[in-house]
Amino acid sequence: MDNKTDITTFLKHLYEKLLKGNHAYVIEKAEEFLKKIPKEPNVLHLSALAYDSAGDNHSAITHFKKSLVIAPHQYEVHNNLANSLKKIESTDQAIEHYRKAIELNPGFFDAWKNLGLTYLEKNQLTDAEKCLKRAESLQPDNVSIISSIASLLKTQHNYPGAIAYYLKALRINPKYVPAIHNLALLYKLTERYDDAIGMYNQAKQLTNKIPQLDYNCGNAYFEIGQYNNAEKCYIEAIGKQPLYVDAHKSLNELYWQLGQLDKFGKSFEEALALNSSNRDLRKSYIELLISAKKYEDAHRVLFESSKKQNNNDVELELLEAKLLAASGNHSDAEKRYESILTRNYSLETAQDLVKILIINKNIEKASSVLDLAQKENYLSQKSWAYRSICWKEQKDERYAWLNNYDDFLRCYSLPTPNGYSNLHSFISDLKELILQMHRTHKAPLTQTLKNGTQTPGRLLYKPFHEIELLKKAFNEAIHEYISELNSDVTHPFLSRKSNLFEIAGSWSVKLFPGGFHSNHIHPEGWISSSFYVHLPKNIKDGKMNNNEGYIKFGENHLTNSSPDKVIKPEVGKLVLFPSYFWHGTNTFKGSADDYRLTVPFDVVPK
């Protein structure tokens, strides 16, 4: 080839092959050309695109850069180079090249969009909004950019705005499945389950090949108590993707909570019979069996996994350590965690080792491991909870500084909401509403309650008038609680003090006679709580002995410690405390139809 016409024809031919997915052919022919003419920027660009399509990101990046050395003003090449850099997680370099592409061509839609999405991934929301809005101004009817802005608004917790943008995208293209799916997810997030299910079914009519649609639709059905439909959706998702781990987990969680133990674990067993070497499926199944305290089955599956996996599978080793600990073999569990930690340090493994060391009464060593863990993540609630145990066992005066019950543990009586003549009347209506949400027979596998049930979803975001009034009252109490706290940048609780906060998780727990909460903490929270909606008759009448049904603080499940503080539950009382406080409840007696109904929630600072 010795003229521009021949090169243009050659490039057109290669581009057509690339569009048809024949990237191996393009790479071969381009490399042959480049041996003769190594400085042809367009062939280098096309070769880079082919390498990128083949998944060889490093070769793609090399060729993009060679093209730019020869012709540095190619804005499309800067954009494509940035895309490849993102794939190898060189995000900052990717941003530089997106910005260079925009500098060379301020009206380049793709670069504005890609830069905005990159900022969104980095949670730089102001920059993301600027870029995505600029892209929208360039192509106002582009459903992809409209959906991207909806994702930004969702991240900003502007759910009405996000819904409006997804609806805008669907007015332009009613068959745009990503927008339908994401709108359904948003409806579910905002507790609009009927709307969510309608959108999922609409998407499934357009394409029946996406198992995530069935899975998420199943989750929506589960949260409104339509368990047969939920089961059907999970099974359909697994039918389309037999190794869909989340669908297997949710299906078996459903069977567990409904008490259908004859079906529990069967989907995993069937999938593993056909895909015996799939590590993710096996590991998920082992975790499920450990949570269900089916230790013999967990040992069996773990043994089968060990035969099929290599000896350096750290995740498998961690599961073995977890199983040893759960089944009471704490000495071997400690050895296994230590071995793993020396080779592959992680905060979670360090915390698991600390837990075992405390059980094994090796408090000094636990403290030493915690020192390193807290350097990595100072505000980890789990680490501070374990630190409190160590200080309590060592009778360290810092225990009182960390667990300042006088200042940090407070009780509030909710005011009577507007529209009600008294608090009793409001709580009566609230109780009837919440009881309708308790439809399962057993608690979720990973929760701390025994002999009771827990509602799914985010209770305080459900669209009911009583819930809205309750959330308003909670917010007022939280504001008062925070205003009464001191400021102290050296304290793990007080250093997070902020008047801006959100309720992150919220649910209801219904305990039956003999039921209780084992001692635990809330690792994802800052402030945690318990609000009492209904109490067993004997507790209300004051006939309980030995603090039955009381909430207790400072007692953990790893040592022989006793509670530091107990609080008598009362209907209408809200208890607030730091999320790292160890807390649990005493069991209570009562008639078979009696129960204890609460609304706990977690608060995080913004």
pTM for the model: 0.84
Residue 179 belongs to a domain: no
pLDDT band at 353 (very low <50, low <70, confident <90, very high): very high
Look at residue 544 in the predicted model and tell me its pLDDT.
Answer: 65
In a domain, 380, yes or no: no
* pLDDT given at position 475: 97
Burial of 243 (0-12, 13-18, 19+ CB in 10 A): middle
Q: What is the band of 5 on the pLDDT scale with cuts at 50, 70, 90?
A: low
Look at residue 286 and tell me whether its pLDDT is greater than 90: yes
349 or 23: which carries more pLDDT confidence?
349
For 116-140, the pLDDT digits (tens) are 999 999 999 999 999 999 999 999 9
Q: What is the mean pLDDT of residues 163-187?
A: 97
Helix (H) or strand (E) holding 536: none
Distances in Å between the alpha carbon of 186 and those of 161, 179, 313? 11, 10, 37
Pair type for strands 551-553 and 565-567: antiparallel
Residue 216 lies inside a defined structural domain of this protein:
no
Q: What pLDDT is attached to residue 528?
A: 98
Backbone angles phi and psi of 503, in degrees to 5: -85, 110
Confidence category of residue 3, pLDDT binned at 50, 70, 90: low
**So what's the pLDDT on residue 500?**
95
pLDDT band at 2, cuts 50/70/90? low
The answer to whether residue 192 scores a pLDDT higher than 80 is yes
Average pLDDT over residues 557-567: 94
Longest dimension (CA), the chain: 100
Q: Provide the number of structural domains found in the chain.
A: 1
| 408: nearest Cα among 501, 502, 526 | 526
Residue 590 has pLDDT above 90, yes or no: no
Confidence label for 299 from pLDDT (cuts 50, 70 and 90): very high
In the prediction, which pLDDT does 218 show?
A: 97
pLDDT at 194: 94
Q: Could you report the per-residue pLDDT of 88-113, keeping only the tens digit for each?
A: 999 999 999 999 999 999 999 999 99
Cα–Cα distance between 41 and 65 in angstroms, integer?
10
**In this model, does residue 405 exceed pLDDT 80?**
yes
Task: Report pLDDT for 463.
Answer: 85
The pLDDT mean for the chain works out to 94
State the pLDDT confidence band at 546, using cuts at 50, 70 and 90.
confident
Task: For residues 269-296, give the mean pLDDT.
Answer: 93
Asked if residue 111 belongs to a domain, the reply is no
Domain holding 507, by residue range, is: 409-605
Rounded mean pLDDT, 43-72:
94
Specify the range with the lowest mean pLDDT, choosing from 151-160, 218-227, 302-311.
302-311
pLDDT of 512 above 90? yes
Does some domain include residue 465? yes
Task: State percent of the chain over pLDDT 90.
Answer: 85
Q: Which residues contact 12 (CB under 8 A, 6 or more apart)?
A: none
* pLDDT of 519 higher than 80: yes
Q: Is residue 497 part of a domain?
A: yes
CA distances from 537 to 531, 534, 542, 588 (A): 17, 9, 9, 11
Digit-coded pLDDT (tens) for 407-452:
999 999 999 999 999 999 999 999 999 999 998 988 888 888 899 9
Give the contacts of 577 (CB within 8 A, at least 6 positions apart). 408, 409, 410, 527, 528, 529, 553, 583
Higher pLDDT, 14 or 80: 80
Strand pairing partners for 576?
Answer: 410, 529
Q: Where are the alpha helices (DSSP H) in 156-192?
A: 159-172, 177-189
pLDDT at 542 over 70: no
- Compute φ and ψ for 513, nearest 5 degrees: -50, 135
Residue 593 has pLDDT above 90, yes or no: no
Does 591 have pLDDT greater than 70? yes
List pLDDT tens digits, range 195-210. 999 999 999 999 989 9
Question: Is position 545 within any domain?
Answer: yes
pLDDT at 303: 87
* Cβ within 8 Å of residue 514, ≥6 positions away: 451, 587, 588, 589
Which CATH number fits the domain that encloses residue 429?
2.60.120.620
To which residue do tokens 């100072």 refer? 378
pLDDT of residue 543: 64
pLDDT digits (tens, 9 = 90+) for 455-465: 988 899 888 99
46-74 residues labelled b (16+ CB within 10 A) or e (exposed): bbbbbbbbeebbebbbbbbebbbeeeeeb
pLDDT at 448 (0 to 100): 84
Tokens of 341: 């930690």
pLDDT score recorded for residue 310: 61
- pLDDT at position 539: 77
User: Is 162 a domain residue?
Assistant: no
Measure the CA–CA gap between 270 and 274, rounded to whole angstroms.
7
Residue 395 has a pLDDT of 96
Residue 308 has pLDDT above 90, yes or no: no
Q: Which of 447-451, 528-532, 541-545 has the highest mean pLDDT?
A: 528-532
Rounded Cα gap, residues 33 and 196, in angstroms:
54
Q: Annotate 531-548 with b (16+ C-beta within 10 A) or e (fewer).
A: bbbbbbebbeeeebeeeb
